[in-house]
Structure 1
């Protein structure tokens, strides 16, 4: 299923609140903040343009990284999406900032 995911599926989520299902089954409210295609990372015979999605939690969280689930328009529920935490870098340190890479 993850091979069918394209950046266009995340376009409608930008600026929207949603939730991640964390590895322990709990829900983490998040907002999708940024979407970036990375054409220089594309392999010669690959169908999909690599891209990344940045999101932040809507409250404090201890979650660092792991395989999560999330709802994506046009695809439904995705399972096994690896979500990584990134440093706040001058942003509100009480929130969690996350990154998903689709290569």
Structure 2
């Protein structure tokens, strides 16, 4: 394999999901998303995809530090992962006090 060839993901860990419906990322949609996470603590959910890795990382950082008002009801973990060149933001609720 040449060094310029992209490594395939671990095929044993591929998840199959039905496509989610399109949702506008407005205030109420984010509040509903956060409420759903609080109902399933510890479970990761895809918040969305970004065209830019820097924007995705900033969004994850803002979520972790409670900078978004919709995510101040406790503590959230957020990570970014890039799949086939597409940055994605994943979030989970881990409990804790409201900020």
Shorter chain as normaliser: what TM range? 0.3 to 0.5
User: Normalized per residue, which structure has more helix?
Assistant: 2
TM superposition score normalised by structure 2? 0.37
TM superposition score normalised by structure 1? 0.36
